[in-house]
Amino acid sequence: MTKEVYISAEGLERIKAELREVEQVKLPDIAVKIAEAKDLGDLSENAEYHEAKEQQSFLFGKAQELRYKIKNARVIDKNCSTEIVSVGCTVDVESGGEKMTFELVGSDEADPIAGKISLESPIGSALVGSKPGEVVSVSTPAGESEYKIVKIM
């Protein structure tokens, strides 16, 4: 079963650009290195050849991963309802007297220090579907926490 990849429009463009770079620059460069290494003779003891083949294998895997993300991308709609928390929304919450703001994003764009949390994280998954005024309980490695939804933007 394929899994949707939640991503911003900007994030999707970054992934497409990365795929172009892998396919049009990095893989052709590796093909040249492999050809040059083959010219050095015996492949069984040719470190340059084996290193280039390893890099090529890694890049093939990277390209496959990027194509999967592009194919299964679900671009996040930035026009959120202010009635219910969903991916793409920015949410003001309160926990233990502390006020915080989170933006719910796909896992590829998560950056907790910048307030961007994945909808797959414990806090993100607890917030999804909640409404202003509700309190959600979150189990984290640090213990149980409660978050009151103050505002959805």
Q: Into how many domains does the chain fold?
A: 2
| 32 pLDDT higher than 80 | yes
Collect all residues with Cβ–Cβ distance below 8 Å to 1 and sequence separation of at least 6: none
CB 18 within 8 A of CB 72: no
Last residue of a domain, one of 43, 75, 107: 75
Mean pLDDT of 99-128: 95
Per-residue pLDDT of 36-79, as tens digits, reads 888 877 777 788 899 999 999 999 999 999 999 999 999 998 88
What CATH number is given to the structural domain containing 24? 1.10.287.180
Banded pLDDT at 8 (limits 50, 70, 90)? very high
User: Is residue 80, in this structure, part of any structural domain at all?
Assistant: no
Same domain, 60 and 118: no
Banded pLDDT at 141 (limits 50, 70, 90)? confident
Same domain, 52 and 20: yes
In terms of residue numbers, what domain contains 96? 90-152
Same domain, 68 and 96: no
Same domain, 111 and 59: no
What CATH number is given to the structural domain containing 131? 3.10.50.30
Q: How crowded is residue 98: how many other Cβ atoms within 10 Å of its Cβ?
A: 8
Mean pLDDT of 10-36: 96
Same domain, 71 and 98: no
Which of these ranges, 5-9, 21-25, 31-35, 140-144, has the smallest mean pLDDT? 140-144
Same domain, 58 and 108: no
| 1 pLDDT higher than 80 | no
Q: What pLDDT does 40 receive? A: 79
pTM summary value: 0.80
Report the mean per-residue pLDDT for the chain.
Answer: 93
Encoded amino acid at 48, one letter? E
**C-alpha–C-alpha distance, residues 72 and 75, integer Å:** 10
Question: H or E stretch including 133?
Answer: none
Q: What pLDDT does 65 receive? A: 97
User: Is residue 14, in this structure, part of any structural domain at all?
Assistant: yes
Give the rounded percent of residues in the chain with a pLDDT score beyond 70: 99
Same domain, 70 and 95: no
